[in-house]
């Protein structure tokens, strides 16, 4: 398929993905903002504690976040069919699932925080991390409700709503980080816990603002008519759980690999953990851009399936893969050539941490392409409602390859934190290859079995 024939597909995907990317960046930049304030105002040890607590909290909630992310593709598919009643039921069902996930994963996050010592960190990191994570566990409820309501907007190709709200929340987070960490005026000096409280406040704002906009804006009124409110949603709840939980586990296996990597690096000491947190923040930022492209790919693939556009399925996938590859290639070049300067944005007064972080950023430069391709593979397969096989692929790549190899390189071979990162590089590359192959195999099967309309491939 020649590139010039994809020109309109590129244009549509970019228009859809750009607001999603900005919104995704806003979410991850809250963590970056927390770390910038903590690193500059409190030092390397609180930075490591906050980073580990953030990673573990996100890990626990990742199944819920990944599970809800399938809704945008389901909404897009229903929109392609012109089924407004189904969109209404999907939205209401997603709110019910969000409440369920909030109870499950918010409670699980609190339990993990109470037993923080099992991660074998230093006593200081353990105490700081426990308190930080307990506060973050409270923010699971607003985070899930924001994510659920955002799926409606994204699936209906209105991603600017979530983008605007997220950017406002980012500003709120930065403001309260400053006010609550050091204590300004009437605000108490809360130290590290002030950063966690700022995240909680910003997430509450996101949920309230998103739900208010959805229910009051004319953009969504055709899909929220009172006549639809009486329709049952039990079937949609089951569909979201059936498709979403495997998708959530796919997300979980990747996040878990990085979280366990952080725990292993913590065994090397607070210096290594602080360096890891700086480098992983940078990699997480670029990853969230690729995730935005992945979400756009899922929406466009789902819409093509719903409208019976068999060729459009393949075209939407190719456009998403090429866009993510191009962007991550540029990021890899920046990481490789400007690693020292990037690290200096986080920390200046600890050359040991800075030097190790700069080395990890170099490794991160090499896995940029693999990271971008694998997350687009997950997204485009989600658009095809293919969620089970990707779950097994990610389980093998991250838990079967990344973590054992990372441990072996870090400890028996004495490569330290760099060894853990090399293990992550290998796992991401394996996942990228297998997920890409899976998408094009299924896309070709749609094409081969279509007879005037899109036909679902066998054995998905």
Provide CB contacts within 8 A for 320, sequence distance 6+.
13, 17, 293, 294, 296, 297, 300, 376, 379, 380
Helices (H), 42-83: 44-68, 70-80
CA 172, CA 73: separation in Å to the nearest integer? 30
Does residue 185 sit in helix, strand or coil?
coil
Longest dimension (CA), the chain: 69
Let me know: does 297 contact 316? Beta carbons within 8 Å.
Answer: yes
Phi, psi of 68 (to 5 degrees): -75, -25
What pLDDT is attached to residue 328? 93
Q: How far is CA 358 from CA 34, 113, 219, 320, in A?
A: 20, 30, 46, 30
Q: Reduce the DSSP state of residue 206 to 3 states and report it.
A: helix
Read off the tokens for 81: 């069919």
What letters, b where the CB count within 10 A reaches 16 and e where it falls short, cover 318-328? Answer: bbbbbbbbebb
Please give the C-alpha separations between residue 106 and each of 50, 291, 330, in angstroms, as whole numbers. 18, 24, 37
CA dist 280 and 257 (Å) reads: 12
pLDDT at res. 459: 40
User: What does the pLDDT profile of the chain (460 residues) look like in tens digits?
Assistant: 554 456 777 788 888 888 887 877 777 677 777 877 887 777 777 877 887 788 788 888 888 988 898 898 889 888 888 888 888 899 999 999 999 999 999 999 999 999 888 877 788 888 888 989 999 999 999 999 999 999 999 888 888 888 899 999 999 999 998 899 888 878 888 888 888 899 999 999 999 999 999 988 888 888 887 677 777 788 989 999 988 888 788 888 887 888 788 888 888 887 888 888 888 878 877 888 888 899 888 888 888 887 778 888 888 899 999 999 999 999 999 998 988 888 888 777 778 888 888 889 998 888 888 999 999 999 899 888 888 899 899 999 999 999 999 999 999 998 988 999 999 999 999 999 999 999 999 888 776 665 444 444 434 4
Alpha-carbon gap, residue 13 to 151, rounded angstroms: 17
CA angle 451/454/459 to nearest 5° reads: 100
**CB distance 447 to 453 below 8 Å:** no
Whether 250 contacts 389, CB under 8 Å: no
How many of the other CB atoms lie within 10 Å of CB of 298?
Answer: 30
C-alpha angle with apex 57: 157 to 150, nearest 5 degrees? 15
Spell 374-406 as b/e; 16+ CB within 10 A means b: bbbbbbbbbbbbbbbbbbebbbbbbbebbbebb
User: How far is residue 333's CA from residue 331's CA, in Å, rounded to a whole number?
Assistant: 5
DSSP strand E in 84-135: where?
none
pLDDT of residue 448: 61
Query: What CA–CA distance (Å, rounded) separates 44 from 49?
Result: 9
């Amino acid at each position: 398929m020649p590139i010039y024939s994809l020109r309109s597909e590129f244009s549509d995907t970019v228009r859809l993905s750009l607001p999603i990317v900005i919104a995704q960046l806003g979410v991850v930049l809250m963590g970056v903002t927390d770390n910038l304030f903590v690193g500059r105002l409190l030092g390397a040890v609180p930075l490591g504690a906050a980073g580990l607590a953030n990673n573990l909290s996100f890990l626990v909630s990742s199944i819920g976040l990944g599970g809800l992310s399938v809704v945008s593709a389901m909404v897009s598919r229903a929109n392609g069919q012109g089924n407004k009643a189904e969109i209404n039921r999907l939205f209401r069902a997603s709110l019910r699932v969000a409440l369920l996930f909030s109870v499950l994963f918010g409670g699980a996050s609190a339990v993990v925080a109470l037993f923080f010592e099992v991660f074998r960190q230093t006593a200081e990191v353990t105490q700081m991390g426990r308190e930080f994570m307990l506060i973050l566990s409270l923010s699971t409820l607003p985070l899930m409700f924001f994510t659920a309501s955002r799926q409606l907007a994204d699936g209906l190709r209105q991603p600017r709503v979530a983008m605007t709200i997220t950017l406002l929340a980012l500003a709120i987070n930065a403001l309260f980080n400053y006010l609550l960490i050091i204590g300004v005026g009437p605000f108490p000096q809360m130290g590290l816990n002030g950063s966690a409280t700022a995240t909680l406040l910003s997430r509450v704002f996101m949920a309230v603002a998103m739900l208010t906009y959805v229910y009051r804006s004319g953009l969504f009124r055709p899909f929220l008519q009172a006549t639809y409110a009486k329709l049952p949603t039990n079937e949609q709840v089951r569909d979201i759980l059936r498709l979403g939980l495997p998708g959530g586990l796919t997300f979980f296996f990747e996040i878990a690999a990085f979280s366990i990597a952080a725990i292993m690096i913590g065994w090397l000491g607070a210096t290594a953990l602080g360096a890891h947190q700086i480098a992983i923040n940078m990699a997480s930022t670029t990853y969230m851009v690729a995730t935005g492209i992945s979400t756009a790919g899922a929406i466009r693939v789902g819409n093509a399936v719903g409208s019976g556009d068999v060729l459009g399925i393949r075209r939407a996938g190719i456009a998403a893969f090429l866009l993510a590859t191009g962007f991550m290639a540029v990021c890899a070049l920046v990481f490789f050539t400007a690693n020292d300067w990037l690290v200096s944005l986080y920390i200046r007064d600890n050359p040991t941490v800075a030097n190790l972080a700069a080395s990890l950023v170099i490794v991160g430069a090499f896995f940029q392409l693999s990271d971008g391709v694998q997350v687009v593979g997950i997204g485009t397969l989600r658009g095809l409602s293919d969620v089970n096989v990707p779950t097994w692929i990610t389980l093998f790549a991250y838990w079967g390859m990344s973590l054992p190899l990372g441990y072996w390189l870090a400890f028996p071979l004495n490569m330290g934190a760099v060894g853990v990162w090399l293990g992550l590089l290998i796992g991401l590359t394996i996942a990228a290859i297998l997920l890409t192959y899976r998408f094009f195999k299924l896309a070709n099967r749609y094409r081969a079995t279509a007879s005037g309309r899109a036909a679902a491939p066998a054995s998905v």
